[in-house]
Amino acid sequence: MSKYDVIVLGSGPGGYVTAIRASQLGMKVAIVEKESLGGVCLNWGCIPTKALIKSADVFNYLNHAADYGLKADNVDKDFNAVVKRSRDVADGMSKGVQFLMKKNKIDVIMGYGTLKKAKKIEVKAEDGSTSTVEANHIIIATGAKSRELPALPQDGKKVIGYREAMTLESQPKKMIIVGSGAIGVEFAYFYNAMGTEVTIVEYLDRIVPVEDVDVSKQMERSFKKTGINIMTSSEVTSVDTSGDGVKATVKTKKGEETLEADIVLSAVGIETNIKSIGLEEVGISTDRGKVLVNDWYQTNIPGYYAIGDITAGPALAHVASAEGILCVEKIADMHVEPLDYGNIPGCTYSTPEIASVGYTEAQAKEAGYDIKVGKFPFSASGKASAAGTKDGFVKVIFDAKYGEWLGCHMIGAGVTDMIAEAVVARKLETTGHEVLKAVHPHPTMSEAVMEAVADAYDEVIHL
């Protein structure tokens, strides 16, 4: 039986990053993976979806070449080639993780891992053979999968989840997307841009409902402008897949409607991968589908830890990575501080993009803050005008008394690359006046942050 300092169960952005950091700290490390290194994020989530979206962006540009004084006649797409490019990108990233495992001398054990008592994992390989490994510390990072609703069972053909949405053999003419979180709106943008007639059905009263209400309103305007149909305060109560396509019964405020499409994409969130991995046998406590952990990701059973989507924090790749690093640094007796979950950025990679961190305006008011709010539209940005990407804005929220940066919300081109300024500034407890006096380059999209702050303090120049 092989013995390690640390074994990580799962090789997603939580698991493989954790394994590398543990190796850097001098530990003997193994990682157990049932499918592909990189997990869902690299193989079926973050990375391949961005490749699909990039193809949609290029196709969009070509179709609007005349807006830039250019000619691009008879522009067409090869849907299968677009999908293949996405898969090739994912495969390349997975191979990159393989290289990192070798570079950091991490043993990769392929197979289905089941937790056992006494800090052991039983691994069942694809050929049916089993082996057992043990460690001083076992870190569980098994991630999550597409959640299924009782009224929306997935058959993988006409009612699909995000994995099938990335590898369809042919482009559907009509698609219904149920749910308007990050997964839903990213696929809505991709398929609409490629020429599919898309309808979004959202149970709540606005799309991207976790975002600031102004962002939701702008997103709805932008999507409707591109031809995406949006139904809010609506619920799919049943689907009929007996015919050539699919018929979805939708309950709305006005009554029931029947929508017809080739495919329904269920994008109603995720559920954790904690079943049949041995939690009960070991005695690890869970609550409502999540593993219970403390600030250092220790479970109730000594020597067993959990990070990423299976714990109570935001189900985001960068959160899983940060949690894993913190976890192993604590194991190594380094001085670490608990992760600040109030300063986690969220990003949505549709067009327009969405990026946010901290309080929304409503949340800041509910928390009792006296606030200053600033907003700068990209329609007033020289860089956005030159690029032809004037949709969207930057919105900032400050505590009026002390100048604390409470929240930042962006929607527009490239904002997922801009949000880090707010994250770092909030980490450093930067005040609004300090941001305002930090010179931002012109012309850039990022100077909209400075302008929004200036608006909060009644000093805006270009608005």
Catalytic residues: 442
113 is in an annotated binding site: yes
186 is in an annotated binding site: yes
183 is in an annotated binding site: yes
Cα–Cα distance, 442 to 400 (Å, whole number)? 28
User: Quick count: other Cβ atoms within 10 Å of Cβ 338?
Assistant: 10
Over the range 128-160, which residues count as b (16 or more CB within 10 Å of their CB) and which as e?
A: eeeeebbbebbbbbbbbbbbebeebebeeebbb
**What secondary structure letter does DSSP report for 65?**
G
Q: Say how far residue 263 (Cα) sits from the centre of its chain.
A: 23
- 151's CB contacts (< 8 A; 6+ apart) are 236, 237, 238, 239
Supply the DSSP string of 8-45, one letter for each residue. Answer: EE--STTHHHHHHHHHHTT--EEEEESS-TTHHHHHHS
309 is in an annotated binding site: yes
412 is in an annotated binding site: no
394 is in an annotated binding site: no
- 273's CB contacts (< 8 A; 6+ apart) are 10, 142, 143, 144, 145, 309, 310
Q: Is the dihedral of CA 268, 272, 275, 277 positive or negative?
A: positive
Cα–Cα distance, 100 to 299 (Å, whole number)? 28
- Among residues 338, 342, 334, 278, which one has the least CA distance to residue 304? 278
User: Token pair 């001098």 is at which residue?
Assistant: 26
Cα–Cα distance, 121 to 65 (Å, whole number)? 56
260 is in an annotated binding site: no
423 is in an annotated binding site: no
235 is in an annotated binding site: no
407 is in an annotated binding site: no
Helix spans in 234-334 (H): 279-282, 317-331
202 is in an annotated binding site: yes
- 302's CB contacts (< 8 A; 6+ apart) are none
Going along 369-444, which residue ranges are E strands? 371-377, 393-399, 405-412
Q: CA of 144: how far to CAs of 51, 80, 153, in Å?
A: 21, 27, 17
Report the binding-site residues for FAD.
50, 113, 309
* Binding site listing for NAD(+): 179-186, 202, 269
Binding site per annotation, positions:
50, 113, 179-186, 202, 269, 309
